[in-house]
Amino acid sequence: MDRVRAVGREAAAKKYDILSAMVAHALAGDPQAQRLVLRLMALITTRYNWQGNELSIGQREIARLWCVDERTVKRDMARLRTMGWITVKRQGARGRVSVLGLDLDRILLDTRPAWSNIGPDYVSRMGGAEAGEGGEPDRTVVPFRRPDIAPAEGLWGAARLRLAAEDRPLFDAWFAGLSDGGTQNGCLTLIAPSRFHATYLRTHLIDRLRIAVGRCDGRVREVRIEVA
């Protein structure tokens, strides 16, 4: 998925599309998920700077907006960071609040299963339609069937299945070649086949690995990449 930015000539339409994805995702979930997404949407519509991808608001102000106490704010903001929907761009210091950002790619990735509830036009507009969907299949293209992922035990085995379901081409290119190096003190070690492979993962994909692993086991918060 390309990096999403709601700026430029079509910024307004992109904003509505992103919010629509979040609404559909929330309505398809349980009441707890609906409440969490609604609270994030309240921050987006009242305080989020789309152009700079910045959300700067203190916990006391969030508590007032959400009509909750600050303990609830801390809990839900931590959940959103664990999900990867919110990132910390600049940590607050000396009385200044932290500057947060939204990972719109992660949000769209997580909400994608609910896009069809909005309608096929939305799915097509968001680039979620498969080739040939909604019309006659292109008979000049021979479909390529990817081999099934061999089941594996343990945390990395579960995370592999999750990563493959999210984005199979990305999984095949960068995650399939990783092997399990064990888990210790809340950190999963993965072994990459080459130094270049490890460097690319650390630079570009470590957050996606961390989120997938954390969703399989919330006790594991970190992922370390080493070279075979």
Per-residue pLDDT tens for 189-223?
A: 999 999 999 999 999 899 899 999 988 998 998 99
The pTM score is: 0.71
Whole-number Å distance between alpha carbons of 161 and 77: 27
Q: Quick one: pLDDT at residue 3?
A: 55
Shortest CA distance to 106 belongs to which of 87, 126, 130, 127?
A: 87
Q: Quick one: pLDDT at residue 6?
A: 62
CATH number for the domain harbouring residue 90: 1.10.10.10
Type and span of the H or E element at 70: helix 70-83
Average pLDDT, the chain: 86
200 assigned to some structural domain: yes
Shortest CA distance to 211 belongs to which of 114, 87, 95?
A: 87
173 phi and psi angles, rounded to 5 deg: -75, -40
Per-residue pLDDT tens for 142-157?
A: 445 555 666 567 899 9
Structurally, the chain folds into a number of domains equal to 2
* Residue range(s) defining the domain that contains residue 181: 154-227
Q: Quick one: pLDDT at residue 96?
A: 83
Strand boundaries in the chain, DSSP class E:
48-49, 54-55, 86-90, 99-102, 179-184, 187-192, 222-227
Per-residue pLDDT tens for 14-49?
A: 999 999 999 999 999 999 999 999 999 999 999 999
CATH number for the domain harbouring residue 209: 3.30.300.180
Q: Are residues 103 and 159 in the same domain?
A: no
**Domain end: 52, 84, 107, which one?**
107
Say whether pLDDT at 137 is over 70.
no
**Domain end: 73, 91, 107, which one?**
107
